[in-house]
Structure 1
Amino acid sequence: KTVNETIHYQGAGNQTPADHAASVEFTRQVSTDAVTGAKTYGAWSAAQSFDAVKSPELKGYTADKAQIDKQTVNGDSKDLAFTVT
């Protein structure tokens, strides 16, 4: 399973930075009963973190968030999305 982090920057016209995107992968063991076909799922691989991302500095603009802090996710986490204006 892949968990994605997207930081969308907006509000600086043609100076607006491109989105920041990162992803981490999780795996787990799946066993299938040969007779019944029932699947048994093991635990997800260990939790992982997205590094803190400092907002780009643009002359004449002040970001509403100086940075997006470190985010820790696991195999059950949903994708993360942030907007910096």
Structure 2
Amino acid sequence: VEELKRCLKKVRRQGYAVDKEEYKIGINCLGIPIISDEGKAIAGISVTGPASRFDLSEMEKLKSTLISLSKDISNQLNRVNKL
């Protein structure tokens, strides 16, 4: 439980999560939360692929694009919720 809490704290701090073959050998994943006005994760976007093609350098290339997309989606959803 403590390790999970540390992992979640790191994810919140950096704004994304990385799975480097932790869930399934040979599969990597990068996940970004969609955040509400209240600061809570209400959804997420992710990219998953084979570790042989979706390695850490590929994740790094996509990270800023996904973070930007996540912020755009969050802003749009939050505007709709205010109507």
TM-score (norm: length of structure 1) = 0.24
Higher strand share: 1
Higher helix share: 2
